[in-house]
Structure formats: structure tokens, C-alpha cells
Structure 1
């Protein structure tokens, strides 16, 4: 949806991408908020959450040592300390938006998978699922950036209704509420979906998959220039920046379907 050529580079060519400080900070903050619920409710405090930040960073480095490259040119550790402090600030802001002592999530970092009638298989990872005593389901997603302006919010809501569609298929329950928690700006945005929303997203997914199928067969993956291009690792290979993509591996017989 964001850029067909970027999809090709990531999914088909599998070109490497450098880790970014922003994305890695998001991964770290998500890990802290997940782990905080391991503690009893009364112990889910802001100081405890802040203390989890450096420990979760060490764990992250154990599983993904390549992330250490982010601070390879920081021998004194000053940039790392500032970066960790920013992560701590995002974690602490969460306490002004939600009260973890009153929450008992049914699921955290839940991997979900469901199949549509068409045979299209959907997969995703939901940050948090809350279930009320009455059985109503709330899907919560943490964002470490700022809340977008309404005209740029479509991608985030598409993701959330996608999750609702998968949960509906798996559990037979329409989630009562979708909730986006923007830690960067301190906003909590909610939406109560209806069945028509799920049907619209399902139609959109089928159309998207059909476009992917056609592009996979033809090799016609066109770039889509947006304000996010400035953060792309593949500008040197992108026609929008006078680059030339590598030979398409599927047409060259270099990869399987």
C-alpha cells in the first residue's frame, strides 16, 4: 500500500536494511510494556517500567546483536544514554494515558492467523487484547510516534480493522473497540468497528492481493513517492531517485514463487 517497489525489495529481493534508531526504540518500548504486566498489578509503576528499559535493551541485543551497530560510533555511550532516556520518557508517558494497575490483558504480543473464504491467509501480531467481564474485546496498539493528522491516519486504522477481521474469523467475536495509543504525542484514539468495516477491509485486502499477484507475475513493481522516501534504504535502486532496480529474480529464475 505504501510503495509496491519497496514491497518487492523487502519480500522478493530480500534486500538488507539498516536498523534505525526510531524503529528499534519502538521495539524496545513495546517489549517493556509487554513485560510490565508480568508483575502484580500493584507493582506496575512508572519507576519499575523505567528500570525495565536498560534490561530489555540488553535482552534485545542478545537476540539481535546487529542492533549494536546503531551506536558503534558512540564509544562514550552518550548517544546511547540519550536514546535510552527517550525510550524511558515514552514509557513514562504511557502512565498518563492508561492505568496498568487496573488492566489484566487477556493477551500480549498475540500472534494471530486466519484464512478468508478466498483462501487468502492473514497473519499479524496484536500488541494487547483486553477482554471485559462481559466478554467484550478491545484491541490495543502502541505507537511510539505522534498521532497523524486525520488525512494520514488511514494506514493505522487499516491495520486495526485488519486485526479486528482476524479476531472475528478466529473467535467469532466482533471486537467492541479498537484503540491506538500514541506515546509520542500522548494521544489515545478509539474506534468502535461494525461488521461493514470488516467487509470493506476484506474487499480491500483481496484487491491488494490481486495487485500483488499480478505484479509478481509481470515484475511490474512501481515506486510510489511519498514523504517517507527520505527514510528509505533503497533510494540508490529506485527510479524516483534515478536508480535502477536489480534484475527481477522471479523472471530471471532466481527465486521460487
Structure 2
């Protein structure tokens, strides 16, 4: 949990967040890379894949019309970028609706071109004409020995003729420096743990495909590290349960705070969170915490495409 308070805002309070262009691009690119494999192997080329970007964007926009706002100017924002040197000519004091529309179309075109570039780069990293995934965008769910239910969505599962499993995850951002790669690797180990518990086989390879920087990284997991992930998940869920019962969700300042939609509510930035929506009953010092409200946010720990800030 990067920030406990952010978890509360998202899972318990369910506060709305603005869509981001980066996350939306990640959704479109993932959809294209999934559907590339619908075509026969000989037709899986970069030209066809690039052409799918606009179609996938239009499908997403039809399902979520609010995404159109990503490329629109704020009509109320007429702030000049530089100090005025005198009265502006008639009709030049604010951008016209037509110029705003043109600027929005230009931003959309640039954004689509960026998505097409990511899709095309994938073909320099993998050859889909030689791949036949066993599963794509597969939802997985299981219960750990502790009783915790875990679930997630895996981009691609490849199975070799020998039965060995490879788990593949696409990232539309750049590969992090090695010292910052722990989060992505934890996500992949999580997938490996879930598949192991579901199917009784530890995946042979975990593969991360970073389209932003054109890199492929992989890791071959072993049983001991997956057991460590299981212990960490159980401990994390216990911390979430305690915070849910006590209402003690503390903010944790970090490098992503600058992009957070909830800064105005965060005590780290002088804000005040909204009233806690669940019933809280204080416990005596030294006493074990006991549930006071059965409306816990969920009994599931999972991983998906959170914000795909780097995804």
C-alpha cells in the first residue's frame, strides 16, 4: 500500500478521480495487444495493429464519454501565458470555441500517435506471429491458506509444449531503474502465486514488456519467494482490517503525491479528509481490536491496472 489514506479514499470513500491521458492510453494499448491475436498468425503485423488504435479508442470513448474531456480546453481558463502589453484587438482577448476545438483535436491526434508508436514498438520486442497465447486478459482468483481471497487480471499467459508457464505483463511506461523495480516485480510474483495456488504449478518465467523504453525484463520465480509474497499479503490485509476498524488511515508522502487527485483532502498538504463513513469503536490500550462494523471495503487483496501511471 503506497499510501494508506489514498487506499481509504479509493476503496472506502470511493471518491471520484479524474481520468488521466497516460492511464487511458494504457487501456487502449492493452486492448490492441490483446486483440492482435484474434487474427491469423500471418496477419499479425504492425500496420494492422496501428490501425486498431483508433477503433479501440472509439470503443472506449463510447463506453466512457467523459474521457473526451482529456483533450478539451477548459473554457473558463482564459489566463494569458504572458503579461499583457496593451489592449488586445477585438476578438483576440480569449481563444474562440473553434480554436479550442482545433487545439483539442490536435492533442487527440498527438495522443493517438503516441499510442500507435507504443503498439509498433512491441513488434520490435516480440513476434506475435510466432506466439499463440494460452490465455489473454485472464481473470484469476483464489483463496490463500489464511482465508484471504486474492484476484487479478493477467495480460497474457503462454504455455510451452512442455507445460511450462510464462506470465507476461505489458507496461506502457519506461522501465524503472533496478532500485525502483520492486513494485513491478511484486505484482508479477503476485500473479505467479495466484496461478500456483490455482493450478499447482509455479510459472517458469515472469516477463515484463516495457513499451515506453523498448525493454523486456524477466524473472524466474522460486517457491520460497512466492511464500514470502503470501506472508506479505496476509500481513498487509491484517493492517487493512485494523485500519478499517479504527479509521486510522495515515497519509504517506511520496514522489507520486504531485499527481494525486486528493491533495486538497490530505493532511500532508494542509487538507482535511471527509468524515469516516464506517462505524468506529475505540479499543482499550493493550486490547485486541475487534470488528465494529461488518461493512469492510472488501475481503479481497488484488492487483490490476491501478492508474497505469507507468502502465
Quote the offset at 1:118 in angstroms.
1.1
- Partners of 2:40 and 2:156 in 1: CA distance: 17
Q: Distance in 2 between matches of 1:64 and 1:175?
A: 35
Q: How many residue pairs were aligned?
A: 257
Residue 227 of structure 1 pairs with residue 266 of structure 2: no
- The corresponding residue for 2:159 is 131
Instruction: Give 5+ residue unaligned stretches, structure 2.
Output: 74-99, 281-291, 297-311
Which of 267, 288, 295 is the matching residue for 1:256?
295
Aligned pair 1:75/2:114, yes or no?
Answer: no
Is residue 35 from structure 1 mapped to residue 61 from structure 2 by the alignment?
no
Map residues 107-186 of structure 1 onto 2, 5 A cutoff: 107-186=135-214
Give 2:46's aligned residue: 46
The DSSP-based 3-state class of the residue aligned with 2:208 is strand
Which structure 1 residue ranges, 5 or more long, are not aligned? none
Q: Within 1, Cα distance between the matches of 2:130 and 2:101?
A: 42
Q: Which position in structure 2 is the counterpart of 1:88?
A: 116
Aligned with 2:101: secondary structure?
A: coil
Structure 2 distance, partners of 1:255, 1:79, is 47
Q: How many Å apart are 1:255 and its aligned residue?
A: 9.2
Do the aligned residues in 1 keep the contact of 2:46 with 2:123 (CA within 8 Å)? yes
Note if contact 1:142-1:180 (Cα within 8 Å) is conserved in structure 2. yes
| Deviation for aligned residue 1:251 | 2.8
Give yes or no for contact 1:249–1:255 (8 Å, CA) kept in 2.
Answer: no
Contact residue 37 and residue 44 of structure 2 kept, 8 A: yes
TM-score of the two chains, using structure 2 as the length reference? 0.81
More helix by share: 1
Partners of 1:239 and 1:94 lie apart in 2 by: 42
Residue number in structure 2 paired with 1:9? 9
Deviation at 1:72, TM superposition (A): 2.8
Aligned partner of 1:209 in structure 2 is 237
Runs of 4+ deviating beyond 3 Å: 252-255
Q: Which moved more, 1:70-79 or 1:47-56?
A: 70-79
The equivalent of 1:65 in structure 2 is 65
Shift of 1:254: 10
Q: Within 1, Cα distance between the matches of 2:5 and 2:221?
A: 31
Cα distance in structure 1, aligned partners of 2:190 and 2:108: 35
- 2:299 corresponding residue in structure 1: none
Which protein, 1 or 2, shows the higher relative CO under an 8 Å CA cutoff with sep ≥ 6?
2
Normalised to the residue count of structure 1, the TM-score between the two structures is 0.97
Given that 2:245 and 2:293 are in contact with CA atoms closer than 8 Å, whether structure 1 keeps it comes out as no
In structure 1, C-alpha distance between the alignment counterparts of 2:268 and 2:196, rounded to whole Å: 40
